[in-house]
Amino acid sequence: MTVKLTYLGHSTFTVDADGVKLIIDPFLSPNNPLAPNAVTADSVKADFMVLTHGHGDHTADAVAVAKKTGCTVICNFEIGNWLMAKGVENVHQMNTGGGFDFSFGRLKWTVALHSSQLPDGSDGGNPGGVLIHFNDGTDVYFAGDTALTYDMRLIGESGGVDLAALPIGDNFTMGPEDAVLAAQFVKAKRVIPIHYNTFPPIKQDAHAFVQSLQDEADIEGIVLAPGETYEL
Ligand code: NI
Ligand code: MN
C-alpha cells in the first residue's frame, strides 16, 4: 500500500491512501491563487475531508466539495455544527486530543496555537492539526496553522512521523526558523513546507527553508509545486 499526497498550494492536499481519497483544508481555484485551475470543487474526488480550522483559506470550498462528493467531513465540534446548518450531511466531529479509527487509518486531533473564526464570523472552535496513522503504518502530521509549540515534542516522543506538512509562511503562523525546530520536535523524517507565497505577507523561499532543514537538522525537505504528487 502507498500513501500519495498531491499538493494544491497553500495548505491544501489531496491524499490517496490505497484508494481511499482525502482532501485536507480545501482551498481551490479560483479562491486559492496558487491552486491548479484543473482541480475544482466540482471535479475533486473525496471520501473524507479534514478541516483543521475555520479560516477561509482552509474552508473556502468545504461546503461545495462536501455536498458534491458526499464525503465525511472530519472537523471540530463548532465547525461541524456550522457545516450541518449549511446542509452538509456527513460530519464527524472531534476535539483536541481525541483519536478515531477511520477506514484509512487512525486520525488524532492535535494542538495548534492559532485562531479559528469562520468566514461569516461564526465561532470556529479551536484550531487543530491532525496526526494520521495510515493503515500501511505511514505516519503523517498535517500541522494546520500553528505557532511552534512545545507540545509538538509529544509527537516526537511517541515515535515521530514519516512526513510532516509544516507552515513556513511566518506572519500568520510559524516561519521557516521555527519550522526547522518543529520538524525536530515531531521527529519528522521528511517535511513538506506549506502555507507560503499565497499572499504578500507570507512570501518565503521554500528552497532556502529546505536547505536550512538539511544543514541544521539533517532532515529531508520536499518542495512541491501546486499539482505535484509525492508518494510515501
Ligand atoms: Ni488560519
Ligand atoms: Mn491559514
Q: Are the C-beta atoms of residues 223 and 207 closer than 8 Å to each other?
A: yes
Could you name the CATH architecture of 3-231?
Answer: 4-Layer Sandwich (3.60)
139: its cell numbers: 505516519
Reference 25, options 156, 86, 5, 231; nearest CA is 5
Number of residues that this document lists for the chain: 232
Q: Is the pLDDT reported for residue 1 higher than 70?
A: no
Within the chain, strands assigned E span: 3-7, 13-17, 20-24, 48-50, 72-76, 91-94, 99-102, 105-111, 128-134, 139-142, 163-167, 190-194, 220-221, 229-231
**First vs last C-alpha separation in the chain:** 9
Whole-prediction pTM value? Answer: 0.98
Q: Is the pLDDT reported for residue 3 higher than 80?
A: yes
CA of 59 to the centre of ligand 2 (A): 9
pLDDT at 51: 99
Q: Is the pLDDT reported for residue 153 higher than 70?
A: yes
Give 32's contacts (C-beta < 8 A, 6+ positions apart). 8, 9, 10, 12, 57, 60, 198
DSSP 201: G
Q: Which helix (H) or strand (E) holds 190?
A: strand 190-194
CA of 110 to the centre of ligand 1 (A): 15
CA of 202 to the centre of ligand 2 (A): 10
pLDDT at 70: 98
Give backbone dihedrals phi and psi of 194, rounded to 5 degrees, phi first. Answer: -135, 175
For the chain, give every domain's residue range: 3-231
| Cell 536550512 sits on residue | 212
CA of 136 to the centre of ligand 2 (A): 29
pLDDT at 189: 98
pLDDT digits (tens, 9 = 90+) for 178-219: 999 999 999 999 999 999 999 999 999 999 999 999 999 999
pLDDT digits (tens, 9 = 90+) for 80-130: 999 999 999 999 999 999 999 999 999 999 999 999 999 999 999 999 999
**pLDDT averaged over the chain?**
97
